[in-house]
Structure 1
Amino acid sequence: MPISTSHNAFAKVPAVTLGFWIIKILATTLGETAGDAVTMSMELGYLAGTAIFAALLAVMLTAQIRATRFHPLLFWAVIVATTTVGTTLADLCDRSLGIGYLGGSALLAALLAATLYGWHRTLGSVSINRLDTRDAEVFYWITILFSQTLGTALGDWVADPEASWGLGYGGGAVLFAAGLAAVIALYLWTRTSRTALFWAAFILTRPLGATVGDFLDKPVAAGGLAWSRYTASGALVAAMLLLVLLLPQRAERLVPSRD
């Protein structure tokens, strides 16, 4: 059922603020460390890890879509679920399916582009200010899942010392941070579509988080800090909870206008 787009109507997602982006980066970093903890440290493998996190995502996403208003903890729990599924699914595509980082990134980029196209074609907008129907919500979360998965593949392709780019985890983090800086510059000094910039930033924060996560838990010989994946994940969960509880978490306002 459509949600009223009057001046006092709000979406079930948080307003895009500096705090939103800080928590988003922490969530994507957590997705990398937690996903690797299950698939690598617990040695369950990418297929089993994807199945586990997909089941958790299905439960939390059902609760999110059924909710009638914005719940910060629930929203961020779903984001973390999408980023852990993204981690294990990207690794499954890149490694277990044997299509490599380039093939995995190309496949996921095509799926993301197709989702955004289908969303815009069906509803006329991909703006978070237009999440006023169930269909819009579904497209929103599918887009997020594919963007999280693509970000993992891109992060591994750029940062993995054995990949073609091989920039290392620190170098990869710098590259994606520079990409985010470019998006911020476009936001501040141009009239580039705010919706396009939002999704560009949303996608770029994922490989940034992936490279930071790998930097925390990969061996020193591979360019990491060799933290335990469990320790890194626990620290990230604590930081996220603290910020979600302390930073203002207001819902995004719905507007009737389209892009």
Structure 2
Amino acid sequence: MEDKGINFVKTLNLPEVEEKCFERLVRLIGRLNLSHPLIFDVGANIGQSIDKFRGAWPDASIHCFEANPSVFQYLHTQYAAEKDLYFNPVALSERIGELSFFATRVAEVSSLLSPTQRMQNLSVEHKYDYEEITVPSETLDHYCETQHISRIDLLKIDVQGAELSVLKGAQGLLSAGAVSMIYLETTFADCYENQTLFTDLLVYLSQVGEGYELWDIAPFLYTGRDQLWAANSIFLSKSIAGELLK
């Protein structure tokens, strides 16, 4: 019987759309005169975002978080000599301790959430086949407290469906409006068990503290049946949005 769901064999990827969203982010930070932004890269993978951030802001300080041990080893080796980079081999979530982590065959789709069985069955390259391991977990609030960090200019999150858990672990910072901008990837297709939905993000971020405003959304990946699969979004704190609207 033919599967009437998502066609994972043929997808439409629009990297130019993703790039333009990042360019708009760069312009936003430029309007705030932040030449040395403090950036948190949650789900750093092998450093793709580090390269982008350093290209835009050579003097940025970047705190990197990558839970996959093998990927972290590559990341640290690749960038160890660079200044103002801080490496953390932990998962950020709403809990301090240890969590299950699903290290997939293709590392960039690894997650704190297990891929759905249907996703594994439909992925012809078996990229979602996984090994379940245990990794250390930290909250953003606790990390910033121990590092004496009171404000984050840019919080980038790419954690394959576990975005809400990361944000809940930063509730103190978000309630205080201490995170200026949030730049995150959201998955719309049914890829992971109990994954964060975009509506979950909208509700949570609109209600935490004074609230965060959705400033931009850029869909960049569609399934073979033209269903939205992934998009990048920019959320701004109320105070930052107010400054930019002056």
Q: TM-score, normalised by structure 2?
A: 0.32
Q: Which structure exhibits the higher relative contact order, with contacts defined as CA atoms closer than 8 Å and separated by 6 or more residues?
A: 1
Larger strand percent: 2
Larger helix percent: 1
